[in-house]
Structure 1
Amino acid sequence: MFEIRIICNPADADHITEKLAQTFTTGAARQYPNRRNTERTRLYITAEHRADSEPWPTPEEAYALAPSIISEIGWTAGAVADKPFGEDIGREFWLRKAALLDHIALADEHEGIRSDAAELATEAARRLVNADAAAVTRDPRHYVRQQYAHWAKNH
């Protein structure tokens, strides 16, 4: 994910935004007056490479190095128990919790079990996406898998 800043004529803003959306997966453009030249405008656009240029990992790839679901439940419970109430728990907790819930939802889907696991996994994934200020326009659970796979390889 990255952010693009453009200074342009206000009349060109829509055209530029459209062209960027054709090349990247973009968030909503934020538009502000230019500080130095009032005849220009500033555009800020959060973008990421399209999924076809950087495919999301499959669940099997993402969780290849993951500990068991039971082990991750223990880790997340322990992480919460060790922190005083109201203290920032950190990104690793939210990533591992979102991955755990995704892993449970995938297991339920595979077994044909009807539960709210997929909804909980999506909500946890959205929390991670928001915490990372990531511009994810598709299923946020894919983002969790990508981030977890990266974390697991480098942890």
Structure 2
Amino acid sequence: MFEIRVICDPDDTDRVTTALTLAFTTGDLRRYPTRDGKRTRLHLTADHRPAPQDWPTPEQAYASAPSINSEIGWTARFLAGAECFTELGREFYLRKAALLDRIALLDDPSAMDRDVIGTAEAAAVFLLDMDQPGLICDPRAYVRQQYALTLTDDQ
């Protein structure tokens, strides 16, 4: 991981940010004015993008997965039997994130309502932060990788 610092014209910040996020896996962007106030300083953490073969495709990750309906049932039963909702455990959060990812994959990407994708992203970020705080990668790809590894380990 490394940090990128850029000084640019305020009108170019979106273009520079987009170029950096396409080239690297990036963390939070911080914007500050330069001392003279005429330009913008951009600071962001970055890492090299993993090679595509490092991440399973959704088809690979979920090939042996139970049906979506079955996973919804498992989630509901798990929550119904939980005594404490603050300590649900990694298995719950992994299966929940994978379930939401699978539902988001069914969503029409051109649909105006992107809540499904946002919810899947949030669950994936939660799992990623729980497992490896500070790791910069595609959170949903991480969920797929961990789900595929868990299925492999359980068999």
**Normalising to structure 1: TM-score of the pair?**
0.63
Matches within 5 A, 1:80-119: 80-109=79-108, 114-119=113-118
1:154 deviation in Å?
Answer: 1.4
| Structure 1 segments (4+ residues) deviating >4 Å | 110-115
Q: Which runs of 5+ in 1 are unaligned?
A: 1-16, 19-24, 28-47
State the partner residue of 1:132.
131
Matches within 5 A, 1:38-57: 51-52=50-51, 55-57=54-56
Note closer, same or farther for the CA distance 1:68–1:26 as it changes in structure 2 (3 Å cut). same
| SS across alignment from 2:54 | coil
| SS across alignment from 2:104 | helix
Q: How many residues matched?
A: 117
1:112 deviation in Å?
Answer: 5.9
Q: Which runs of 5+ in 2 are unaligned?
A: 4-24, 28-46
1:97 deviation in Å?
Answer: 0.1
Q: Is the 8 A contact 1:108 1:114 kept in 2?
A: no
RMSD between superposed Cα atoms in Å:
3.3
1:85 deviation in Å?
Answer: 3.0
**Normalising to structure 2: TM-score of the pair?**
0.63
Q: Aligned AA for 1:140?
A: P
1:133 deviation in Å?
Answer: 2.1
State the partner residue of 1:76.
75
76-85 vs 66-75, which deviates more?
76-85
% identical aligned pairs: 51
CA distance in 2, matches of 1:68, 1:128: 21
CA distance in 2, matches of 1:153, 1:113: 37
State the partner residue of 1:123.
122
